[in-house]
Amino acid sequence: MNARTVRERLYGEAAEAAGMSRNRMRKAVDAFLKALKAALKAGERVEMRRFGTFRPRTWKGRVVVTPKTKRVVHAKKSRTVSFIPGKELGGMRGGAYNR
């Protein structure tokens, strides 16, 4: 199963639940994801009550030693997104998110 299949299934299930056409739901979901991506790119924290919180993280550049070869590598500064599930996803929490 690839990302396209998962997204298409999401469109279908959400459209059916909302009583909308699949095409209108596709546009709505894509617009939502575009807005979410833009907010995270701008460095904003996005909180969706009871669902979870997305927040951008920046990792500093650092020096890393490769364990196998003992070679020193310079890791560049990078950005990523962290997600902390909210109460509605509480039953899906694993390892680090158990509170």
Q: Which residues have a Cβ under 8 Å from the Cβ of 46 and sit 6 or more positions away? A: 36, 39, 40, 53, 54, 55
Same domain flag for 22 and 60: no
Same domain flag for 52 and 88: yes
Same domain flag for 38 and 49: no
Same domain flag for 14 and 51: no
Same domain flag for 8 and 37: yes
Same domain flag for 54 and 28: no
Rounded to two decimals, the pTM is 0.70
* Domain assignment of residue 91, given as a range: 44-99
Same domain flag for 15 and 27: yes
Distance CA 10, CA 16 (A): 10
Helical pair 3-18 and 22-41, crossing angle rounded to 10 deg: 120
- Name the domain count of the chain: 2
Give the three-class secondary structure for 2: coil
pLDDT by residue for the chain (99 residues), tens only, comes to: 566 778 888 889 999 999 999 999 999 989 999 999 999 999 999 999 988 999 999 989 999 999 999 999 998 999 999 998 888 877 665 544 444
The reported pLDDT for the residue numbered 93 is 55
Same domain flag for 14 and 61: no
Same domain flag for 32 and 59: no
The reported pLDDT for the residue numbered 99 is 44
CB contact at 8 A, 79 and 57 = yes
Give the three-class secondary structure for 8: helix
